[in-house]
């Protein structure tokens, strides 16, 4: 008896929402294309996304300058 091949996982592209395969055959995973991957990278580079963190003493020192 042979084991069936695992079904590929389908995910929504984080940028455009299009359904795409999350598999080694998709070099842009989890994105659907190089364009969507580049848009996401650009958003991170422009600080459109931020990770919230409580202020540190270094932040307070810089604010006082």
For the chain, what is the domain count?
1
| Confidence band of 62 (pLDDT split at 50, 70, 90) | low
Give the pLDDT confidence score for residue 28 in this predicted structure: 97
Which tokens belong to 29? 């995973």
pLDDT in tens, 38-49: 999 999 999 898
- Report the CATH number at residue 31: 3.30.50.10
Give the pLDDT confidence score for residue 1 in this predicted structure: 67
Q: Which residue ranges are tagged as binding site?
A: 13, 16, 32, 36
21-55 CB burial, b ≥16 within 10 A, e <16: eeeeeeeebbbbbeebbeebeeeeeeeeeeeeeee
CB of 32 within 8 A of CB of 18?
yes
Q: Which residue ranges are tagged as binding site for Zn(2+)?
A: 13, 16, 32, 36
Q: Which domain holds residue 18?
A: 10-50
Evaluate if residue 2 carries a pLDDT over 90. Answer: no
This prediction's pTM: 0.67
User: Which stretches of 1-65 are assigned E, i.e. beta strand?
Assistant: 9-12, 19-22
In a domain, 19, yes or no: yes
């Amino acid at each position: 008896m042979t084991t069936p091949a695992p079904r590929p996982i389908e995910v929504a592209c984080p940028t455009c929402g299009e359904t795409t395969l999350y598999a080694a055959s998709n070099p842009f995973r989890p994105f659907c294309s190089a364009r969507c991957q580049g848009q996401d990278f650009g958003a991170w580079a422009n600080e459109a996304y931020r990770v919230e963190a409580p202020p540190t003493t270094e932040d307070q020192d810089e604010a006082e300058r």
